[in-house]
Amino acid sequence: MLKIAVIGGIETVMGFKALGLETYPAADAAEAGNILRTLTREGEEYAIIYIEENLAAQLAAEIDKFKDSPAPAIILIPGREGSLGLGQSALKAAVERAVGTNILGD
């Protein structure tokens, strides 16, 4: 069975834990990077990995390795500070790659 994980600050991941998702609190980008590498190594069965935007901003190179892979889908989510716009930009780029044009507008 494929799993869903959430990486982020403790305040962010606790809400997802209540929904039954696997949560991985990370104090900083280095810790988030270690968790991401663990979750994406061979044999792991994660379909979706949500990562808090403020941590993902510092892990762009590692996240980009998976942008053309069907699994795991790495989705950026806002943290408690609010959205940085990274998740929306990533979604817009993915849709444009899939469709061939920007259908979401500005």
- Mean pLDDT of successive 10-residue stretches along the chain, which has 106 residues: 92 89 95 96 88 92 86 85 58 57 64
| Domain topology for 3-99 | Rossmann fold (3.40.50)
Look at residue 6 and give its three-state secondary structure.
strand
CA pair distance 31, 104, nearest whole angstrom: 34
Look at residue 22 and give its three-state secondary structure.
strand
What per-residue confidence (pLDDT) applies to 51? 95
What per-residue confidence (pLDDT) applies to 91? 56
Nearest to 58 by CA among 34, 85, 28, 83: 28
pTM: 0.77
| Boundaries of every domain in the chain | 3-99
What per-residue confidence (pLDDT) applies to 95? 52
Continuous segment of H or E residues that includes residue 62: helix 60-64
What per-residue confidence (pLDDT) applies to 70? 79
